[in-house]
Amino acid sequence: MEIHCVVIHSGDLFCYDEYKIGVLMSSRLTIAIPTYNRSSLLRQALDSALAQTSPDIEILVSDNGSTDDTQALLERYYDPRLRKIRHDTTMTRGEHGTFLFAAVTTELVLVLSDDDWIEPEFAAEVLRLYDEHPEISFAYTGCIEHYDNAILPALVGPRVETPLDFFAAHYAGRRQVSWCACVLRVADIRACGPQPADRIMGDMFFWGRIGFKGPIGCVARNLAHYSVLRPGGGNESRSVPILNWGSEVRIIAGEIFERLQAAGLGAPQQRQLRRDMRHYTTRSLANQFLWGRISGMTSTTCLRELPGALRFRGWTLPALARVIIAHILPRKVLRGLIVSAAARLAQSRSQVLSVQHASS
């Protein structure tokens, strides 16, 4: 069956008359792939979505006004599970996300960036988790982070855990949730309302709220792949101004702290969580100095950001060391150091995970 691409003009609504309604109605999970001028990367993301072993999926590719050969690539794909939408104008990231969540017709959604990809069992394993534990607020899987040729497994939790345990472990650095590994209910996303224009982190904006609706579910297998550093790619969040990034990390942490406090978090736990959140924020700030330099920010610009960054509480010596090397080393050297550090961390983390699996 040939699936035609719907072209969305500014202000237009669209319908699903061209699609096989039976396929859409029977699907439970939409894999939504927003894309813009990255046809060289899109193929892998789309192929991984089409390779899913579960029949209960729909794939939605939304081209945000690309001017490269994205449309030529998409025209070569014909599959009853695939819906293709092309916009004639380019929206902001937040606007594009709002459009996608309005366009999804299934119960669940995964937002898969065009430079990320998933394993064939991803959908089947996540749907099995939702079937076993319908009380969960959202689900995520293990994820491999890619730093050029270095691969780093993310840290995950038990199959089900409370919001308190999850968020405490997240800010302590023991849980990592990538957007490409996170599946949420569409109704919950819509209930949050659109991502505000002044918010950068759409992933944490949503799961940081939805995570309090019930326990968090986890498939511990590494079923998703997140491109942190990749030739031809580029995570858009890495180019966000440093102080804007730090301020949003702190705002989100404050919102989550207030919800946990309202849920009855004890005084000793509050003190520990505050410390962990401050350290998390300054680590994130330090990393943003590194990403900013790699993305083209000059040392002079970084230096101008430094006084504002140092006003944040919770700096540690390792975090400050990252800021210093971001100022003094060339971009190529910084990239090499990040890849080498990821490889070393991957080795030590794999040993820890092996011990955990052996004892479980």
The one-letter code for the residue type at 22 is G
Span 333-357, mean pLDDT?
Answer: 82
Which pLDDT belongs to residue 12? 44
- Is the per-residue pLDDT at 165 higher than 80? yes
What mean pLDDT, rounded, does the chain reach?
Answer: 89
- Is the per-residue pLDDT at 8 higher than 60? no
Tokens at 116, concatenated: 């990320």
> Model confidence over 29-58: pLDDT tens digits?
999 999 999 999 999 999 999 999 999 999
0.75 cut: is pTM over it?
A: yes
> Model confidence over 303-322: pLDDT tens digits?
999 999 999 999 999 999 99
Residues 112 and 31 sit within 8 Å (Cβ to Cβ): yes
Which pLDDT belongs to residue 30? 98
Which pLDDT belongs to residue 231? 72
Span 72-78, mean pLDDT?
Answer: 95
- Is the per-residue pLDDT at 272 higher than 80? yes
Which pLDDT belongs to residue 237? 65
Which pLDDT belongs to residue 225? 97
**Secondary structure of 317-355 as H, E, C letters:** HHHHHHHHHHHHCCHHHHHHHHHHHHHHHHHHHHHHHHH
CB 228: neighbour CB atoms within 10 A? 20
> Model confidence over 76-90: pLDDT tens digits?
999 999 999 999 999
Percent of the chain with pLDDT over 70: 88
Which pLDDT belongs to residue 357? 52
> Coil, helix or strand for 122?
helix
- Is the per-residue pLDDT at 140 higher than 50? yes
DSSP class per residue in 7-36: EEPTT-----TTS-HHHHHH--EEEEEEES
